[in-house]
Every structure is written in structure tokens, then in C-alpha cells.
Amino acid sequence: MDDPRSVLSIYDLNFVVTKLERSNFPEDRWSELGLKLHISQPKLDSVRAYNPLDVKGCLRRCLILWLQQSYDVDKYGLPTMQLLATVVEEMGLGGPEGPLLQISDLEYVFVTLNEASFPPMQWIPLGLALGLYQQTLDVIDANHYGNRKHCLIECLSQWLIRADHVDAKGKPTMTTLCDALEGIGEKAVAAQIRLKTFNQEQASSIEEVDDRASSSGYGSHFSKQEIQEWLSEIEWPSEIEWPSEIEWPSEIDEFDKEELDALEKANIILREELDAARKGIDAARKANIILREELDAVKKANIILREELDAAKKEFAELKEELDMTENQQKQ
């Protein structure tokens, strides 16, 4: 989906989920996201009731409600990636595409591409995929003709300052960069960048927690070594005992009714399309029968014409024979 302002539907669910997953959206914050998207608390409670142990399932059902416009659309607007990005940014998560890049990140982006073995000769397809106009790329090519490295750097700088149609393709982030790379066939480069970016973020977060835990005055007066020794002495259960019976709600809530209504409407549409297809088939069959009847009539007419032609030939032969006899008699 090139334009983040395009209205989303339930058919875009997997696209939206994938975008959030790639940006490492914390699934346990699905309820906060739902409230930010103006889904009512009772509906979110229903989602939680039917997915008490599955935050991923809760996030998915929350997005279903949003994509089905189960909120005040007139007041808060139709579901779009632009709206979702704004909401996620308000949650302090940097948007579903990841942290926004600035022109100051030019060296970082260029080095990352270089380390991932991105071929500089592909800078024009990359620029187009990132939302730059061909005219802009032509100017870059003219200014740095033959120097693909400089062309790539200038291309990235134009992307980072969000020139041309960049925002419509997706604001400058490492996620949108990887999406563009995949779009031009550089999937290996994109995969390496995703892996590197994710691992660095994960490592930095672990180191931060590790440093804070070992620092004085954090949480308690115990040292990191004392905490580790204490944890090693705990007898952890080998198996988790889940309750044998879970009391699920007996009544169908509003969320399920809406989902059922949507499925029923889709079923009606499919039935109507099936009936229309059947009518088309019947009409085609009738037309085929008519054509066959007309063909048979033509064949019969052809047979009659052949018989008449044979009769005419025979009559002509008889007349010729009589004419010959008459001529012979006159000669005698």
C-alpha cells in the first residue's frame, strides 16, 4: 500500500499486523492501542475475555474492530496507516515503521547499506521505491555522473529530507528502507539490515537493564551477584498447572455479533454472485442450444441444396442427351 492515507478495510488486517510486528510493537499494549484508536472499553473487555492468555490474539481482534470501523468514524476518521502511525507515535513507540530518520542519520544509513552489500548501481530503482521522482534522480545523475557512490548518498539525503513523494511511500525509517529494498529485489540486503537493526536494539535494551540492575541504588541494596545467587536457589516448577476448567462467557457479546453480521453479509454477497454466475451459465447454455439448432438447419438446407443440384445436373444430362439425338436424326 503506497499511500498511507488510503482507507484500510478488514482485508488489510495481515498487512497492518505485519507492519506492527516488523516495528517490534509490544503486543501486551494492545488495550492501550485500542483506546487510542477509540475502541470502547466494553468491546476491549470482550476481546480480553475471549483471549485471556493470548495478547497476540487480543491485538489482532482489536485491529479487526478498528478495521471494521467499530467506533465513531465521523468523529475520529477512517482507518488509515497514517492514523495508526500517529497513534503509535503518541504511545511513544516511534510509529509502526520504526524510529523516524533525519538527515543527520545519513552516514548511518549509508554505512548500513554498505555493510549489507547493497550494490550502488541500484540507487535509481531504490530512489524510485523510496518515493523520489525520476526528475530528481536525473538531476542527481547529471551532477554526479559516473560516481554511483555519490549518487547513492545524494539519493539517500533527498529521501531523509522527505523530498518529492517520500511521505506517501512511507516516512524515512529503517523499516520503509527495507520494504523498498525488498520491492526492488534486494531481499538479502533487506533481511541483513532487519537482522542487524533488531539485534542491536535487543542487545542495547538488555545491556541497559543489565547496567541498571548492577548499579547502586537501583531497586534495592542487593548486588547483581547476590540477586543471581538468590535466583539460582529458587525451585522453579517443572510444569505450569493451568486450571482444568475455564468459565467462558455464555453469551455472545457485541463484538461477536458484529463479526457474525459481517460474515453473513459477505455470505449473502457470495450467494448473489453465485446466482448471477449460474444465470450466466444458463444463458450461455441456451445460446449454445440455439446455435446448434441453427447449425442443424443450415446442414439440412445444405443437404436440400445438394439434392436439388444433383437433380438439376441429371435433368441437364437428359436434355443434352435428347439434344444430341435430335441432331443425329437431322443429319440422317
What was the pLDDT predicted at 209? 37
What is the per-residue burial (b if ≥16 Cβ within 10 Å, else e) of 289-325?
Answer: eeeeeeeeeeeeeeeeeeeeeeeeeeeeeeeeeeeee
Q: Are 141 and 124 in contact (CB under 8 A)?
A: yes
Bridge partners for 80 per DSSP: 7
First vs last C-alpha separation in the chain: 104
Confidence band of 130 (pLDDT split at 50, 70, 90): very high
Whole-number Å distance between alpha carbons of 306 and 314: 12
Q: For 39, phi and psi rounded to 5 degrees?
A: -80, 135
pLDDT in the model for residue 242 = 45
DSSP 3: -
Residue 203 — very low, low, confident or very high, per pLDDT cuts 50/70/90? very low
In 22-179, DSSP assigns E strands to none
Q: Cα–Cα distance between 110 and 152 in angstroms, integer?
A: 8
Distance from C-alpha of 116 to C-alpha of 193, rounded to nearest angstrom: 6
Contact 181, 188 (CB under 8 A): no
The residue to which cell 472499553 is assigned? 41
* The pLDDT of residue 289: 85
- Write the CA distances from 256 to 46, 129, 213, integer angstroms: 9, 40, 45
Task: Please choose, from the candidates 23, 28, 86, 35, the residue with its C-alpha nearest in 3D space to the C-alpha of residue 65.
Answer: 35
Report whether pLDDT(216) > 90: no
More confident residue, 133 or 97: 133
- For residue 2, the model assigns a pLDDT of 53
Residue 243: CB atoms within 10 A of its CB come to: 6
Give which of 177, 197, 174, 164 is closest to 129, Cα–Cα.
Answer: 177
Q: Which amino acid is at 207?
A: E
Residue type, 19: K
Q: What is the mean pLDDT of the chain?
A: 78
Q: Is the distance from CB of 206 to CB of 199 less than 8 angstroms?
A: no
Indicate if the alpha-carbon torsion angle 145, 150, 156, 162 is positive or negative.
Answer: negative
pLDDT bucket at 121, cuts 50 / 70 / 90: very high
pLDDT at residue 220, as a whole number: 38
Burial class (CB in 10 A: 0-12, 13-18, 19+), 163: middle
Work out the number of other CB atoms within 10 angstroms of the CB of residue 77. 14
User: Which is nearest to 67 in space by CA: 14, 23, 22?
Assistant: 14
pLDDT tens for residues 270-290? 888 888 888 888 888 888 888
Q: At a CB cut-off of 8 Å and minimum separation 6, what does 125 contact?
A: 184
